Structure 1
Amino acid sequence: MYLQPIILSGGSGTRLWPLSREHFPKQLLSLVGEHTMIQDTILRICSLENVLSPVIVCNKEHRFLVAEQMRQIDITPQQLILEPSGRNTAPALTLAALSVLDKREDCILLVMPADHVIRDIESFHQCITLGHQLAEKNHPVAFGVAPTHPESGYGYIEVGESITENAILPTAFKLQSFKEKPDRQTAQFYLETKRYLWNSGMFMFKASIWIEKISTYTPKVLQACTQAIDKGTQDGDFFRVESVAFSSCPSDSIDYAVMEKLTDQEDSTFFPVVISLEAGWSDVGAWPSLLEASTRDEQGNLAKGDIYLDSTQNSLIFAENRMVAAIGLKDTMVVETSDVVLVVHKDYAQNVKNIVAQLKKENREEYISHRKVYRPWGYYESIDFGSRFQVKRIMVNPNASLSLQMHHHRAEHWIVVSGTARVIRDNEVALLSENQSTYIPLGIKHRLENPGKVPLEIIEVQSGSYLGEDDIVRFEDHYGRTK
């Protein structure tokens, strides 16, 4: 049977703030290696046999970012499904399974979060091959990781008797039960008994079996997802599920919606299994796990950017914009971005989510986005701002354009730094080259285009009584943002 990758890309990665943010989460970042995490997730399975192009489920706000990252690695998703809101992994998978079965006969679903690191690709492929064999025999398959320390940030899977005999293959066990994230004492017990694996969040099963079991155990999820798919619309490269129906869907995970309920069945032929994934896996759930998953220097440090270290050990230092000097640090995480500096001891790294929750409560912009904000046409970056002005650097991709728009509360000055700009201002059209500029009064319809073959870079100076991004009235847009 064909292997259908299902990539779940709905997470926000709050514990990797300030690099990971709501509008640019960790799966879209290059944290380990040259590719982003979602790109690596797909590339590591491309060489397997009988693999279909992936189905990706992501938040609607990330659609252009995900599509661009797929274009960069020459991958055309079979379907890019947009969630209007996050409802956990079981609804996301149900949307994908319904979409797959609507287009083809039954197949094996390989369900993978988009934000994990796997270093040993050969061992990973062996586990997937074994999982494929078991899934074809109708076994729902989970993938667990042998714990290396008493981790309280992961869920666990209790294993039963082994069901594999070939020593060359990875080991598969009957799946006994799922365990919630434990306290440290319980995690230590799990480690010592050697009967528990970390729950990786990866699964395999036939698409038809998932739909059958979600119908049996959590029918409200299937009902809501079916309505959301039936009332959804294809929008170019994206499939938009209907928001009202999907918002009524219960929020539940794959393991608790279906998998753990299968362990209660008394059936000698149909039972869930778990494969021990020994492939250098990490979910990179917090800064210390990124440190552990990366290649470090002789002192155990991971340094990226313009960094100077002295008497520093087992620390992570990231610098995006400025030089950072660290002296006498141990087990410390320092992350510098254009608008935030985070300093945290590794023992308190899980508490980063508390800061993010506080920022969200106070409606701080630093929770949502970086100063560099990506758009389908390119990106803009805030350089300076005050009470009645803002300065941005704008980069427009070749043959791309911003929407035809108007502002009620601000005027704009555009200065071309490099490339060629085609400027529409009401009924006027002008071509501007390097060092030329134009002025857009408030209330005037306007559009910025790049008709050239090289990126267009401009400096935009905004002035007015209100400078928020919601002061945009769009009349036409190539990317469907007038809806």
Structure 2
Amino acid sequence: MLIPLILSGGSGTRLWPVSRKNLPKQFLSLTGAGTLFQQTVTRTRMLSRVAAPIIVASEDHRFLAAEQLLELGIKEASIMLEPVARNTAPAIALGALHALATDPEAILLVLPADHLIGDERSFVEAVQLALPTAEAGWLVTFGIRPDRPETGFGYIRRAEVIDKNAYRVEQFVEKPNLVKAESYLADGGYDWNSGMFLFKASSYLEELAEHAPEILGAVRVAYATAKSDLDFVRIDESAFSKVPDNSIDYAVMEKCRRAAVIPVTCDWSDIGSWSALWLAGLRDADGNLREGDTIAVNTANSLLRSHDRHLLATVGVNDLIVVTTPDATLVAHRNAAQDVKRVVDELKTAGRTEHSLHRIVRRPWGSYDSLEAGERFQVKRIVVKPGAALSLQKHHHRAEHWIVVSGTAEVTCDDKVFTLSENQSTYIPLGSVHRLRNPGKMPLEIIEVQSGSYLGEDDIVRLEDVYGRS
């Protein structure tokens, strides 16, 4: 069976402020139907004899991955949780070990969760053409035929033909400068390095054992101590922290004698920056990619993206990226899109939360929106999904007032359990053990007013939680 292995642990910092640590680009709807993660999973369903996918995701994104799979009607996927990021070589090793546990002949189709493919039929055909090469023991990568001199991608130099479809890899080339990129395009023997692979799980582990045995040994230890929790496979943090950090390119592919490449033209993009999204999107007659409520006057070749209920207007500008969210605005020259990561670095250095959290924060039970905050108070809009419940918890530094806007709330406060309807309210004293649950069939919306000496999210003592967070 062909098993898709979806790598979804990236942070997508170059697409800030829309992509953030707790909600990175792969779980966002940036173009087309569904999120990039959902598009990637859906693409694999077009293949024949395909098994349920294996997802390797960050611990922080476990419920995002599970929820988005359920939206696709996929319930049988394996979701493996990385407690810490250790790059692609260890992540793929985890997936390979998991696949071999059920199928000793498993073939893995390794796909990053955040890529965009416009011509999905051509990609599916390339995978089918690559299968015999992978079955013969080669580690196949897919090289994207370049249509422009691109300095943002690595390249693959093709060598002789292995069979009628695949070539032996002669060399992996780092991201070039413009002059070199132009020479690669003129040469015709170079493809973009897509980071997508097809190989037998056993073949990958054999190559990893030869070229990076310390990675394989440490991953084996971590996988052996993995535990099942709800719908997830939890990898032991102590063991996985000892795994060396390395990519599949550096650890295996650049050293492997069985590396093959199949060129493919499939309208591909890794959506690695706002300029890449502008290039991949449907632009208007003035070259503008516009999303949301925007007005563009004498504006050309720009990306304009506005959030809900916020008008974005530009006048007399060219080649700009302007992106707004409820709590941040980015203005950048399109040619400087790769430097957005430096903003994220500065936010981290300053100890600010805008690099990791949106104003609207998603939780497995629903979401909350921080509407207003000041000294000793904070106002949130909380939405709880039907049948869902927050953890049984208490706070050391704050009290809370809850007002039901719509739906029905079941409230636990110390030894009392009672129901509130629209326009009713209650008070949760500091230190009280409490829980909010939605017993209805419609979303529950409340306004929460917090007051106290400290209002941080780390002032939550979870005593019981159906999502395993206590």
TM-score range, shorter chain: over 0.9
Q: Which of 215, 223, 227 is residue 233 of structure 1 equivalent to? A: 227
Quick one: which amino acid aligns to residue 213 of structure 1?
E
Q: Does the Cα contact within 8 Å between 1:398 and 1:455 map onto a contact in 2?
A: yes
Q: Aligned ranges for residues 157-236 of structure 1 at < 5 Å?
A: 157-165=156-164, 171-236=165-230
| Distance apart, 1:164 and its partner CA | 4.6
| SS state at 2:354 partner | helix
Normalised to the residue count of structure 1, the TM-score between the two structures is 0.96
| Structure 1 gap segments, 5+ residues each | 166-170, 266-270
Q: Which of 458, 462, 467 is residue 455 of structure 2 equivalent to? A: 467
| Distance apart, 1:92 and its partner CA | 0.2
| Distance apart, 1:184 and its partner CA | 2.5
| Distance apart, 1:189 and its partner CA | 2.2
Q: Distance between the aligned counterparts of 2:75 and 2:107, measured in 1?
A: 19
Match of 2:271 in 1: 284
Q: Which of 373, 378, 382 is residue 394 of structure 1 equivalent to? A: 382
Q: Which of 291, 301, 307 is residue 314 of structure 1 equivalent to? A: 301
Q: Distance between the aligned counterparts of 2:242 and 2:392, measured in 1?
A: 35
Q: Tell whether 2:343 aligns with 1:349.
A: no
Q: Does the Cα contact within 8 Å between 1:415 and 1:459 map onto a contact in 2?
A: yes
Q: Distance between the aligned counterparts of 1:193 and 1:253, measured in 2?
A: 27
Match of 1:121 in 2: 120
Q: Does the Cα contact within 8 Å between 2:138 and 2:203 map onto a contact in 1?
A: no
Match of 1:130 in 2: 129
| Structure 2 gap segments, 5+ residues each | none
Normalised to the residue count of structure 2, the TM-score between the two structures is 0.98
| Distance apart, 1:182 and its partner CA | 2.0
Q: Which of 311, 318, 321 is residue 330 of structure 1 equivalent to? A: 318
Q: Distance between the aligned counterparts of 1:328 and 1:458, measured in 2?
A: 43
CA-to-aligned-CA distance 1:290-342 (integer Å, 9 cap, x gap): 01111111111111111111111111111113111111121111000001000
Q: Distance between the aligned counterparts of 1:186 and 1:238, measured in 2?
A: 45
Q: Distance between the aligned counterparts of 2:219 and 2:126, measured in 1?
A: 30
Match of 1:3 in 2: 2
Q: Does the Cα contact within 8 Å between 1:388 and 1:465 map onto a contact in 2?
A: yes
* CA RMSD across the alignment: 1.1
Q: Distance between the aligned counterparts of 1:443 and 1:195, measured in 2?
A: 68
CA-to-aligned-CA distance 1:434-466 (integer Å, 9 cap, x gap): 000000010000000000000000000001110
Q: Distance between the aligned counterparts of 2:418 and 2:178, measured in 1?
A: 66
Match of 1:168 in 2: none
Q: Aligned ranges for residues 291-310 of structure 1 at < 5 Å?
A: 291-310=278-297
Identity among equivalent pairs (%): 52
| Distance apart, 1:134 and its partner CA | 1.2
Q: Does the Cα contact within 8 Å between 1:409 and 1:464 map onto a contact in 2?
A: yes
Q: Distance between the aligned counterparts of 1:65 and 1:218, measured in 2?
A: 32
| Distance apart, 1:48 and its partner CA | 1.3
Q: Which of 254, 258, 272 is residue 260 of structure 1 equivalent to? A: 254
Evaluate the alpha carbon distance shift between residue 90 and residue 77 of structure 1 in structure 2; reply closer, same or farther with a 3 A threshold.
Answer: farther
| SS state at 2:439 partner | coil
Q: Kindly tell me the number of residue pairs found equivalent between the two proteins.
A: 469
Instruction: Pick which of 174-183 and 202-211 moved more.
Output: 174-183
Q: Distance between the aligned counterparts of 1:63 and 1:247, measured in 2?
A: 19
Quick one: which amino acid aligns to residue 3 of structure 1?
L
| SS state at 2:63 partner | helix
Match of 1:438 in 2: 426
Match of 2:464 in 1: 476
Q: Distance between the aligned counterparts of 1:360 and 1:312, measured in 2?
A: 33
| SS state at 1:380 partner | strand
Q: Which of 439, 451, 459 is residue 451 of structure 1 equivalent to? A: 439
Quick one: which amino acid aligns to residue 349 of structure 2?
K
| Distance apart, 1:161 and its partner CA | 2.4
CA-to-aligned-CA distance 1:218-266 (integer Å, 9 cap, x gap): 011111111111111110100110111111111111121111111xx4x
CA-to-aligned-CA distance 1:275-297 (integer Å, 9 cap, x gap): 11200000000001101111111
Q: Distance between the aligned counterparts of 2:76 and 2:264, measured in 1?
A: 26
Q: Distance between the aligned counterparts of 2:249 and 2:440, measured in 1?
A: 51
Q: Distance between the aligned counterparts of 1:275 and 1:159, measured in 2?
A: 9
Match of 1:274 in 2: 261
| SS state at 1:40 partner | helix
| Distance apart, 1:78 and its partner CA | 3.1
Match of 1:268 in 2: none
Q: Does the Cα contact within 8 Å between 2:133 and 2:166 map onto a contact in 1?
A: no
Q: Distance between the aligned counterparts of 1:53 and 1:300, measured in 2?
A: 40
Q: Does the Cα contact within 8 Å between 2:157 and 2:169 map onto a contact in 1?
A: yes
| SS state at 2:403 partner | strand
Q: Does the Cα contact within 8 Å between 1:55 and 1:77 map onto a contact in 2?
A: no
Q: Distance between the aligned counterparts of 1:273 and 1:209, measured in 2?
A: 13
